[in-house]
Structure 1
């Protein structure tokens, strides 16, 4: 009887269930979207109960679609949208408020207050993260401050404050386990990446009691068991948890120091494995890659708020494309001499600028700028932003980047991939496998359970290579134009 590994990838736009066979090949996938709750301030939320219901449903749908016995599934791995945070009642398991999504900058005033106390450098030195509303701490603090009675309940230890992985583990195990892994913990802005513990002093700055935070567990550790509300006759162990970008780093096989990947999702994570010792950077942050076999590895990472979401904006809000597939052909058809740039600072700018007050702008248009040129500017803004981060990483790490491994839906766009290689001046490797975040968590779980071999499980992934073709002076002129456009939106 075939033994399967189940992966759940809970992302910003939806939830996927992924089924892998005994050699790590993806053989079936199902997914469900969830609502994006956005108000007139641009604040972004998700309904945690909808996410949990969808998680159970996509697994049911997967088993039906694949026509397998649920009990042939041996182990579960979970990858999740990071930084998105929520607070729920320990006794009832009910959220006290919606999950606040990583894109949402509503915690800016909380961070500004901490900065005025002169604590920003301390937060950065201990957590590896620039003080920012992007991370989970300010989001949780906002909930505790703005939901009636929440702070008091938290102080009494009656609430769970966590990220999406810990929420799913809690719900899937029937409230028996409240755990998070090292990768997710390191993205909350409350975890000391050197002592590898929740930092009491940092948590006090945000008025978040450490007793309300999850137990930090090895990424390949044991997170309890689940039967998916009776779907399985025998509960399946949860043996792998990774934040989505860390999952993609692992799924890409970036296991050695100096290897780098970019995930093109709603936003983007550019992540470099820097080995077993942390390093500091002024422009990007330091986090934990994972903890495996009891040992941690560190990463440098830059995060961008709007990359794939730019394409969604072109389609749903501007309504100048009907599908993402149109963007490549329109960009190719656009006037190559057009100087239009889109700086998509819809909710501020992340790395390497860290300006949460920046506003989006379309810059450099002429009278001949039309639909195709606007689409090209939107598509190219993705590559420009990623190049900014790559350059910062090379400078601060002292490591020369040999290639960029990429994943995510937009990597199917050959125009974007070629432009990315041209602007960054490095080869870009696109894997044959999709869903690298889910693959990483599933492989982690499969290795933990003894079903996969660490050295061989990645060998089935083939890659398409893009190499730089753009003439040097053309590239310099384009990139200088981008830097000028960014300078128009910065508020400091």
Structure 2
């Protein structure tokens, strides 16, 4: 009998993908479709939730065909861009507004008002999060305040809110399941880290109706069933993309840490079963929940990483393709004094300055696109170093760092991160760790593997290690120039 396959739906910020894994973690196929990015005005980022669904369904069907039919699929795992809010009508099954993406900054003033009213410390104590437009609750409130369709659905009792995985499960199950997993729920500002359900005080503070929210469920188990792919297939795994990547990197014990370099950059350190508390503006989050028991992580979130390279390519026209950034970086001895602070969507952890704007400093007549490309890649290490200092100050310093995500395939950048951090950086041969983490959860939820530890042993493959090789004076000067530029934005 053919081995069972796991279908992973990986719904990212710039594309949606479907991938096939077997029980040993081998990748058997990928289908990918780009997602249109909508920027209606400065600071606003939106997606078409209908497009997300149609592209996801198309990718899923392509992988079912590649697998040889739906009966080859033992389970579905889902992972997703977090915090992005979808509002839909349960009667029509259609979105009521474009999805408001995690990068969107339109609620910065509302967050500032809540801070000025003295609410942030109480919110942080409950949720592990800060008052920032990044998170879902203020996006939900904005939709209620500004969309007639959303408000009308709320009045009629047909409004459903959810993050992207919630929307996909609702569509996959034909409206039978309105659920979110605990890892995604912990990113909304509406769930206390130790709470089993939505927090009444937080719902009141943000003005979000409980009736519109999904039920909170485990990250592995019987999460729903779809019949849209040619047979009845169970949905058995679900987690936000950064939590899924942490699992896919095998960070299953306290202290183990990973960094994902995708559209943004996200560092998560497993903290075990005790909810983390940060004194240095890092975030506490649910890493996973299985059988009602939670494991937590400390997180640092950087808003702009790979999206900076995309900006240099698509908006400024400095690159022909993203991969060219590595060749350009290698073509010059240094950045020529150019420093980029990539605050194109404000600054995330540990600064949390939503009004900050991006900057390119140190330009001269001798500056070339190679210097700018190198400075863009150097910014990844600089931002990671800021996070390393914050984690260390919270007694969660890194002995080494596991990296993944699309940008991690760039050898020059991986070495630069190791050089600036002064520690070993480890990269798996399979950098698709987000999807692998979702596959591991689905494997546990479907009973293919008994535990995440068993799934990790079976499914995680070989790695490459980058060790520090930069002279200390060069490192010191790089970081000094970064701090000087950072102080001006």
Where 1:6 maps in the other structure, the secondary structure is strand
Q: CA deviation at 1:308?
A: 0.4
Corresponding residue for residue 288 of structure 1: 286
Q: CA deviation at 1:401?
A: 1.1
Where 1:28 maps in the other structure, the secondary structure is strand
1:211-244 C-alpha deviation (Å, 9 max, x unpaired): 211100011132210022xx323x1111111000
* Cα pair distance change 1:367/1:93, threshold 3 Å: same
Indicate if the aligned counterparts of 2:222 and 2:446 stay in contact, CA closer than 8 A: no
Aligned residues: 484
Equivalences for residues 203-352 of structure 1 within 5 A? 203-228=203-228, 231-233=229-231, 235-281=232-278, 282-336=280-334, 338-352=336-350
Corresponding residue for residue 82 of structure 1: 82
* Cα pair distance change 1:101/1:32, threshold 3 Å: same
Where 1:192 maps in the other structure, the secondary structure is coil
Equivalences for residues 103-252 of structure 1 within 5 A? 103-148=103-148, 150-151=150-151, 153-154=153-154, 157-228=157-228, 231-233=229-231, 235-252=232-249
* Cα pair distance change 1:140/1:317, threshold 3 Å: same
The reply to whether residue 19 of structure 1 matches residue 11 of structure 2 is no
* Cα pair distance change 1:155/1:303, threshold 3 Å: farther
Indicate if the aligned counterparts of 1:20 and 1:27 stay in contact, CA closer than 8 A: yes
Where 1:123 maps in the other structure, the secondary structure is helix
Indicate if the aligned counterparts of 2:221 and 2:444 stay in contact, CA closer than 8 A: no
1:173-197 C-alpha deviation (Å, 9 max, x unpaired): 0001000001000001111112232
Where 2:403 maps in the other structure, the secondary structure is strand
Q: CA deviation at 1:456?
A: 4.1
Unaligned runs of 5+ in 1: none
Indicate if the aligned counterparts of 1:18 and 1:438 stay in contact, CA closer than 8 A: yes
Corresponding residue for residue 360 of structure 2: 362
Higher mean alpha-carbon deviation, 74-83 vs 365-374, is at 365-374
Where 1:288 maps in the other structure, the secondary structure is strand
Q: CA deviation at 1:152?
A: 5.4
Q: Could you tell me the TM-score, scaled by structure 2's length?
A: 0.96
Equivalences for residues 37-52 of structure 1 within 5 A? 37-52=38-53
- Separation in 2, partners of 1:383, 1:485: 15
Indicate if the aligned counterparts of 2:334 and 2:374 stay in contact, CA closer than 8 A: no
Indicate if the aligned counterparts of 1:162 and 1:213 stay in contact, CA closer than 8 A: yes
Q: Could you tell me the TM-score, scaled by structure 1's length?
A: 0.96
Indicate if the aligned counterparts of 1:270 and 1:390 stay in contact, CA closer than 8 A: no
Indicate if the aligned counterparts of 1:335 and 1:373 stay in contact, CA closer than 8 A: no
Q: CA deviation at 1:22?
A: 3.0
Say what the alpha-carbon RMSD is for the aligned residues: 1.4
Unaligned runs of 5+ in 2: none
- Separation in 2, partners of 1:361, 1:346: 8
Which of 367, 373, 376 aligns to 1:375? It is 373
- Separation in 2, partners of 1:168, 1:423: 40
Where 1:421 maps in the other structure, the secondary structure is helix
Which of 422, 428, 451 aligns to 2:425? It is 428
Indicate if the aligned counterparts of 1:154 and 1:208 stay in contact, CA closer than 8 A: no
Indicate if the aligned counterparts of 2:8 and 2:77 stay in contact, CA closer than 8 A: yes
Corresponding residue for residue 29 of structure 2: 28
* Cα pair distance change 1:47/1:314, threshold 3 Å: same
Corresponding residue for residue 403 of structure 1: 400
Higher mean alpha-carbon deviation, 113-122 vs 478-487, is at 113-122
Q: CA deviation at 1:440?
A: 0.6
- Separation in 2, partners of 1:302, 1:204: 27
- Separation in 2, partners of 1:463, 1:361: 35
Q: CA deviation at 1:278?
A: 1.4
- Separation in 2, partners of 1:224, 1:285: 30
Q: CA deviation at 1:113?
A: 2.3
Which of 372, 387, 390 aligns to 1:389? It is 387
Which of 445, 449, 467 aligns to 1:448? It is 445
Q: CA deviation at 1:31?
A: 0.9
Corresponding residue for residue 9 of structure 2: 8
Indicate if the aligned counterparts of 1:24 and 1:452 stay in contact, CA closer than 8 A: no
The reply to whether residue 98 of structure 1 matches residue 103 of structure 2 is no
The reply to whether residue 475 of structure 1 matches residue 472 of structure 2 is no
Higher mean alpha-carbon deviation, 154-163 vs 40-49, is at 154-163
Indicate if the aligned counterparts of 2:6 and 2:21 stay in contact, CA closer than 8 A: yes
- Separation in 2, partners of 1:358, 1:437: 29
Indicate if the aligned counterparts of 1:394 and 1:400 stay in contact, CA closer than 8 A: yes
- Separation in 1, partners of 2:59, 2:24: 23
Q: CA deviation at 1:337?
A: 6.4
